Each structure stands twice: as C-alpha cells, then as structure tokens.
A and B are shown apart, each in its own frame.
Chain A
C-alpha cells in the first residue's frame, strides 16, 4: 500500500461515477436496501411493496487489484421479508481473487446472488429506536467458469444478525456460512464469518428529514476459509483466517444514499504461502423508489 492507492481510488471513483450514474439515469430510478454499514451484516428491511436499487463499486487487492460493479435490487415483500438480487459486473479480474464475501449482504466475488432477508424479531423502545434480528438466506451462481484456477460451483449461504439502531447510535453483530458445491471435481473452500459494526451520528448531522443525514461506522469482518479442492484433493496453500477492520461513512438525503468504506487486514493466518489481502474498498450509490 502506498503510492498505488491514490490511483486506485481515482480510477474507482471515475468508473463508479460514469458507469454507476449512467445506469441510474438510464433506468430512471434505483436504490439500496441496506441503510447501514457497507461491509457487514445489518438488520433493516424495506417496507411492504417498497423497491430500492444500488450500484456498488468494489475493489480488493491480493497481489493485483480486482474491481467490480454490483447492481443490487431490493424489494419488500412484507415489512419483515425483503427479496434481493445482486448482479456482479467484473471490471478487472485477477487470477486468484481472495476467497470471501466482499460485502456480506451480497454475493462473493463474481457470484450472482439471490437472497431473502427475514426479520425474525423486532421491538421498538422509542422514537427512532429499534432492536431487531434478521436471517439472511441466499443462493449464488458464479459468473465465470473458473476462479483461481478452479471450477466454481453454485453456493448456498445463511447468515444471522442482530442489533440496535437509533438516531444516534447503531450496532449490529452477526455471522454466516457459505457452502460451495463441487464442480468438475473442484470445490472452493467454504466461508464462515462473523461481523461486527458500531455506528454514530454526531449531533452536527442530526438535522431532521428531509435535510441530509450522515453517520459513520467502524466495521470488522473475520473470515475462516476452508481449503480449496482440485480434482478431489485438498490444496494445501489455500484457506486460512483473516480479520479486517476499517471505517465507513453513510450519507442519506431523501431517497438517495451514498456510502463508502475501506477495510484493512489486522490479522491473518494462512497455512501456506498465499498472498494476503491488502484491502477491501466499497462505494455505494443508492436510490429508493
């Protein structure tokens, strides 16, 4: 990390603005369902019949930088059930991308994911406050035949998150598991993960709706990745454990949202000599219909 980051950020921002905004303009309205953190699990679901869209520009680096756009559609089937589809558009692939869910509320690198959020529990202690727990279930199909030299199969994922939201403080904790199926005797290692996030909205940003609303988060993700299998045999230099931590910010203005964040590795334990992940970077532009 050093001189390359400014170039990456500039390039990412340009693509984000040009491609992302053009998609928004062409389809005439879009948005994101998550109005919380960028990388970690959170509980909110859309209201019944509500639709939102977001376009996300994301980057990660493991040896070389990979980046991709994601278009995420969200629909509130009821006030407690939200359906989502997350479609990746890889802009720059790398031969051996990091194994992990780059944004835990959507598919892994290169996966098209269909998911459902089920709010299992909710209680409202006061104005602007709520405790809730939400189950996330999803299924993914890869958009490429091979990833890191392995055939990639469809996967199943489940996650559970619980937390608190208010007009000032936010906090969610959760975890999940992604299981990859075998494809031509190859199989990507499963991913188990836990996430935690705390958020704060400073008094200076506590203006009332419809004025802009900003909040900041500290997010963390820890992943345990299993060994990949090639030709039915476990590959020794794969899998491992890593923890990432970093800040993010979310700005909301009426039906628009803009968020961004970066995670850096703070701990890693790999069984072999694989490259470690240098960072994860996400920007999200959201529109609520």
Chain B
C-alpha cells in the first residue's frame, strides 16, 4: 500500500511537469488592423483566453504580443484563429515554444508540443538543424513561424536551448 501511495505522489508531481508550457511567447504580426477599437477588441479577446498571462497590441507595428502561462494549453493556431475572429489577418509570428523533436515521413525535423501542435523546423544554417537532430529530450526554440499551409507550419529557428525544457 505504501508503494502505491509513493507511486501516486510521484505521478502527481510529474503531471505538472509534463503539462508545463509549450508555447511561451507569441509576437504575432497582424494585417488589417487600423483603429484603436480594433486593437482594444483584439487585446481583450486574447487576454480572455485561458492560459494567457498578458497581451498587448501595437497598432503602428501591427503586432500582437502575448506572454503565456507556464501551464497553458494554447496553440499558435488558437491565437491566429482569435486574430481572424477579430476580423484581421494573422501573418508570420515570432514565437518561443517548447517541445520534443521528431522526424516526419519526409524526413524533416518536427517540433511537437505536448498539446500536439507541430512545427516543421527550418534553419538558414544546416548545422543548426544537425545540432537539433542530435539533441535528446525537450527543446525550447525561438524563431519565426510562417503562416500555415496544408503541409504544416514552418518554424525558422533563430535560437534553441535544451536547458529550459
């Protein structure tokens, strides 16, 4: 019985670790937003989303910045859908995201978050991709996410860090 209790406690403390943040920060470029109430509506919509720590909007730069809670379950597509529902167009985004790296059927490196969102990893420097492919465990990657097409969302890596995972 004592063993079961110990296992239960270990499991209990492991679950929050497993659910820890995947998408950590989003700087989403927004097209078509031209007025203060537009910015207000979008900012409010994002702030109301479960898992958002803070959100702010720059009209002049057309930029939505969202900082997410560590235990959020949000995906970039959730954020982009909210932008579209506000009546605007979500373009590329600079994001920081945590996940595990795998390979897809075509052999491309893919970052998968714990909520199942996939990013196809791209880098201007091939060596960066090689370094990532040699890394085990979780990675935190910062980079530019393109708009999604049928094949998935490409994430151009600016930097990565395995220690934050």
**Which residues of A pack against B, CB within 8 Å?**
31, 35, 44-50, 52, 76, 78-80, 119, 122, 124-130, 165-167, 206, 208-210, 212-213, 252-255, 257, 286, 288
B58: nearest chain-A partner, CB-CB: A208
CB distance from A276 to the nearest CB of B (A): 35
B59 interface residue per 8 A CB criterion: yes
Interface segment among B81-89, B114-122, B128-136, B151-159: the answer is B81-89
On chain A, the residues within 8 Å of B86 by CB distance are 47-48, 50, 79
* Contact assessment for B87 and A209 in the assembled complex, using a CB-CB cutoff below 8 Å: no
Tell me the B residues contacting A by CB distance below 8 Å.
29-42, 45, 57-62, 84-89
| CB neighbours of A80 from chain B (8 A) | 87
The number of residue pairs between A and B whose CB atoms lie closer than 8 Å in the complex comes to 100
**Is the CB–CB distance between A255 and B40 below 8 Å?**
yes
User: In the complex the two chains form, what is the Cα distance from A50 to B39 in whole Å?
Assistant: 12
Q: How far is the CA of A50 from the CA of B37 in the complex (A)?
A: 11
Our pick among B40, B58, B61, B88 for the contact of A124 (Cβ within 8 Å) is B88
14 sample A-B contacts, Cβ–Cβ < 8 Å, listed by A number: A47-B45, A47-B85, A50-B41, A79-B84, A79-B87, A127-B60, A128-B62, A166-B34, A208-B58, A208-B61, A209-B40, A209-B58, A209-B60, A286-B37
- Beyond A46-B87, A47-B86, A288-B40, whether A252 also contacts B58 by CB under 8 A is no
Asked, given contacts A35-B38, A80-B87, A255-B40, whether A128 binds B45 with beta carbons under 8 Å apart, the answer is no
Contacts of A124 in B (CB 8 A): 31-32, 88-89
Contact residues in B for A78 (Cβ distance below 8 Å): 85
Which residue of A119, A128, A288 contacts B59 across the interface (Cβ within 8 Å)?
A128
Q: Give the complex CA separation of A287 and B22 in angstroms.
A: 36
CB pair A47–B87 under 8 Å, yes or no, is yes
A127 contacts B29, CB within 8 Å? yes
- Whether A167 and B36, one on each chain, are in contact in the complex, defined by CB atoms closer than 8 angstroms, is no
Partner of B37 from the list A48, A165, A212, A252 (CB cut-off 8 Å) is: A252
Contacts A129-B32, A209-B39, A254-B40 given; indicate if A45 touches B60 (C-beta within 8 A).
Answer: no
- Name the residue among B30, B32, B57, B61 with the largest chain A CB count within 10 angstroms: B32
Determine whether the beta carbon of A167 is less than 8 Å from that of B84. Answer: no
Q: Which residues of B contact A125 (CB under 8 A)?
A: 31
| Smallest Cβ-Cβ distance to B31: which chain A residue | A124
A129 to B59, CA, bound (A): 11
Question: Which B-chain residue is minimally distant from A250 (CB atoms)?
Answer: B35
| Residues of chain B with a CB closer than 8 A to A255's CB | 37, 40
In this complex, what residue of B is CB-closest to A165?
B34
Contact B34 A129, beta carbon cutoff 8 Å: yes
Q: Give CA–CA (A166, B33) in the complex, Å.
A: 8
**A35 / chain B contacts, CB cutoff of 8 Å:** 35-38
